[in-house]
Structure 1
Amino acid sequence: MAAKKILMLVGDYVEDYEVMVPFQMLLMVGHTVHAVCPDKKAGETVRTAVHDFEGDQTYSEKPGHNFLLNATFDEVKPEDYDALVIPGGRAPEYIRLNERVLDLVRHFAQAGKPIASICHGQQVLVAAGVVEGKACTAYPAVKPDLLRSGASWVEVNETFTNAHVDGNLVTAPAWPAHPEWMRKFLELLGTRIEP
């Protein structure tokens, strides 16, 4: 397996599990992951939030960890990366306002490079205009955004554990889907894990 270089787009109040777990899993299997945030440099942190499903009409939110950025947003050259990861949480709703974030996403989409997006991360895909004609899933509150942008909706199962692949794009509804989401992303990357 050839190690891949992966870009991860984050911001303050990114969902804790959706940034920490994929970051660590991808490093564990030998890939390089650069986590970046607009207006921040390597060595700085973003705050995370833990979203949980506790029987309310929507998820609850609690303080998470500080997540250390290991690359500088302004220095990123998308052509240096093989794939992109967009975690969810509250960060996508405002990082999608950054035109450079959208340009980075468009690079990966137009080049056909693997993109893994989860939960509210699909808000960034919608803002970049890269989901038209794609079948996607996401946190259900993002369904109207995806449908209005020309994507088709893949139903979320009752345990939020499903993920869906359409070409170079793998989407999932929330962190309970990590095993399926990351397995499908690793397949897109050509990563084989031997038993």
Structure 2
Amino acid sequence: MNDRMQKKFKQWAIIASALFISLGIVFLLVKTSVVSDKKNDIPVYPLAYKLALVQSQDRSLAFRSIQVIEGYAPDYLAELPKDYYRIEILNGERTLYKGKIPSVITTIEENFSPDDETAVEQVTKTENRGEFDMVLPYYEKATKIRFSDEEGREVLVVNVNSFSLEKPQTKTNYCNDGICADNENIFTCYPDCSQKLRSFFERSD
């Protein structure tokens, strides 16, 4: 009787262990999938988009070119009350990044009175940007970059995925470069380190 109970106990223990391991594997796969989706919402450093744009007198924008460069983009997070473009980097309709840039160049001149050195007159001047370049954060899964005016009207859309953009050879390691480096793992960089996870399960089989 004791032998039968011991055998049944061992069988149930094996079944429970297998179930626990299976649940752990499912949890790990779901977790890594979620981490992978979130990772796509993080900019890839040290890469950036460089856009060449032209602003007309009516403040509409025209697209000239786009390329991927090695570098870092400003954050464009300043709160501008007026005279700005709103920038959005999108994956489909999901916003990966948003910021603002001035739609005009503002200069302030100080004119001193010849009779009173303490009397200063400030003159504010604005002018259109004309041709200009701007650098934006690079996202692996970005599909378009959208510019809107301060009223929310769309002034320019750049369909990123319609261009064959070559990434420069960088001196530093970054996520999505195809190498699971020492400072990366399955949770911080799933695209590069997922092969290690698959290899682990293949060895387990």
Greater RCO (CA < 8 Å, at least 6 residues apart): 2
Question: Could you say which TM-score interval applies, normalised by the shorter chain?
Answer: under 0.3
TM-score by length of 2: 0.18
Q: Hey, which of these two has a bigger chunk of strand by percent? A: 2
- The normalised TM-score by structure 1 is 0.19
Larger radius of gyration: 2
